[in-house]
Chain A
Amino acid sequence: MKKREILIRAEEETDPRYGKPPSERSVEELIETGVINLDKPVGPSSHEVTAWIKRILPVKKIAHAGTLEPP
């Protein structure tokens, strides 16, 4: 992997009244914008495990990236 460096165009402070670092999000906020690094087990399809998580977590939308079975 190429190592990237950071180029500085300008320096500025951020106003603590707005937004928050990702580590300070509440669990509800995490669910609203979260990602699961799922270890899909052998057996069920990617669609099945995704549908299964949807039944467990209170989420309106859910999707998986990159189906993991041989078509």
Chain B
Amino acid sequence: MGGGGYPKVSGILPITLNKAVKLIPVLLKEDKEYICVMKLHGDVSDRKLKAVLREFQGPIYQRPPLRSAVKRVVRIRKIYKIDMLERENRYVLLRIWCEAGTYIRKLCHDIGEVLGVGAHMYELRRIRAGSLSEKTNMATLQDVVDSYVLWREHDIEDYIRRVILPMEVAVEHIPKVVIRDSAVDAICHGAALAVPGILHVETGIRVNDVVAIFTLKGELVAIGKARMRSEEMVSSKRGIAVKTTQVLMSPGTYPPLWRQ
């Protein structure tokens, strides 16, 4: 990496507690948004820079860096959008909206290669991870400590309620299927969701999409994989609509069907 220095990295890091840890595989697949300062190693015209940035929108090839947690095979990641917000000579402020698993440091390096002058990521801030953004009750480490102490020692709840959020806020992006009370307990035991248990369905669900199964009270029951499109979930008489993949609600929260 030319023009070294360890890059400053900050911003949205979703943290899941206890049962919500099961949401991790779902959250890892969510799209991300970043603000990034890229430093160029040579002079480039605005026109050329903008043209090259445009080329990097769409699917790109990336080989994971040496020190990475995944296998180092070239993979394709989608860059949905790159905006140049500002520029001061060799420092370029970018807003990047991309698929999960995109290496921004690598992206900056590759942009530098195509420009022919070289470049590196100078500073990075994640401003959104799926449903969680800077606009939705973001908390600092200090907020975590202070709010916990105020609740524990002084019984003050408002603050910690703004820091520890219901897990439902982390899956707002995922299409919802709302089910009957009588269908909840079977799902909590890992059963697949059959069509008769469904009340409402959001549009746009395709087969194999990740969906969130909710109660009428707005509680997340489970995450699953769609076996039907939204329209079929509504029009079919029978059949499996969603295969449950992660159960979030404890069994026994709602009564089992046979007891009603």
Residues of A within 8 A of B (CB): 2, 4-15, 18-23, 25, 27, 30-42, 46, 49-50, 52-53, 56-57, 59-71
**B181 pairs with A36, CB closer than 8 A:** no
Decide: A4 near B145, CB < 8 A? Known: A39-B12, A65-B16. Answer: no
**B203 pairs with A4, CB closer than 8 A:** yes
Q: Tell me if B137 is interfacial: C-beta within 8 Å of chain A.
A: yes
**A65 pairs with B129, CB closer than 8 A:** yes
B17 / chain A contacts, CB cutoff of 8 Å:
31-36, 57, 59, 61-62
Q: Which B residues between 135 and 191 are near A, CB-CB below 8 angstroms?
A: 136-141, 144-145, 148, 151, 157, 160-161, 163-170, 175, 180-181, 184
**A22 pairs with B219, CB closer than 8 A:** yes
Kindly identify which residue among B16, B64, B67, B151 contacts A27, using a CB–CB cutoff of 8 Å.
B151
Residues of B within 8 A of A (CB): 7-21, 23-24, 27-28, 30, 32, 64-69, 100, 103-105, 121, 124, 126, 129, 132-134, 136-141, 144-145, 148, 151, 157, 160-161, 163-170, 175, 180-181, 184, 195, 198-204, 215-219, 230-231, 233-234, 248-249, 253-255
